């Protein structure tokens, strides 16, 4: 959807005539339509995708840390989706497990590493999109 910007331009006649009447103002309204910038749109898409990935990884981190029941539908869904995202980083660190009665809390530093790596990748993609953006005419 195109954003519509409204510009108001005011012009004044020079000076005041000899009878002391006030200067008349003329108001003209001009409507301009701003075209959506494809680079900004691409940047926003990258940041939205990163935000979605980071939220899922945060859910996984908290659910693992609190020892959520993997038999639960939501927990199983989050583990399955984010398991794909954390596979490249699973063998970097050891996993710390704490078990008390029925709760098995797990601290996985690989989730934090995955979140940081995906953040850096998204930042790099956005920087690639904005190369030469300052040189473009407005």
Is 0.85 surpassed by the pTM of this model?
no
- Give pLDDT, residue 111: 94
pLDDT tier at 102, thresholds 50, 70, 90:
confident
Helix (H, G, I), strand (E, B) or coil at 78: helix
User: For residue range 40-61, what is the model confidence (pLDDT) as tens digits?
Assistant: 899 999 999 999 999 999 999 9
Whether 138 is covered by a domain: the verdict is: no
Q: Which residue has the higher pLDDT, 5 or 94?
A: 94
Whether 121 is covered by a domain: the verdict is: yes
Altogether, the residues listed in the chain come to a count of: 138
| Residue 31 backbone phi and psi in degrees, to 5 | -100, 130
- Per-chain mean pLDDT for the chain: 80
Query: Do 83 and 98 fall within a single domain?
Result: yes
* Number of domains observed in the structure of the chain: 2
Query: Do 115 and 62 fall within a single domain?
Result: yes
Summarize the confidence of residues 117-127 as an average pLDDT.
96
Whether 135 is covered by a domain: the verdict is: no
Cα–Cα distances in angstroms (integers) from residue 8 to residues 2, 11, 26, 109, in the given order: 19, 10, 11, 56
Query: Do 125 and 58 fall within a single domain?
Result: yes
Query: Do 24 and 71 fall within a single domain?
Result: no
Domain limits at 7? 3-34
Q: Which residue has the higher pLDDT, 84 or 100?
A: 84
Distance between CA atoms of residues 9 and 19, nearest Å = 27
User: For residue range 103-119, what is the model confidence (pLDDT) as tens digits?
Assistant: 788 888 999 999 999 99
Share of the chain above pLDDT 70, in %: 65
Summarize the confidence of residues 95-105 as an average pLDDT.
72
Whether residue 129 is predicted with pLDDT greater than 80 in this model: the reply is yes
Share of the chain above pLDDT 90, in %: 43
Beta bridge partners of 32: 5
H-type alpha helices, 1-138: 38-66, 73-86, 109-129
């Amino acid at each position: 959807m195109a954003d519509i910007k409204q510009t108001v331009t005011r012009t004044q006649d020079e000076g005041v005539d000899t009878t002391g009447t006030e200067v008349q103002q003329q108001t003209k309204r001009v409507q301009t339509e701003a075209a959506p910038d494809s680079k900004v749109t691409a940047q926003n898409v990258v940041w939205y995708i990163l935000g979605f990935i980071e939220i899922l990884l945060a859910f996984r981190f908290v659910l693992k840390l609190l020892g959520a029941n993997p038999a639960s539908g939501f927990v199983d869904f989050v583990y399955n989706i984010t398991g794909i995202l954390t596979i490249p980083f699973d063998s970097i660190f050891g996993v710390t497990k704490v078990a008390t009665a029925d709760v098995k809390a797990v601290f996985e530093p690989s989730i934090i590493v995955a979140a940081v790596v995906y953040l850096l990748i998204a930042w790099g993609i956005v920087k690639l999109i904005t190369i030469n953006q300052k040189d473009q005419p407005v």
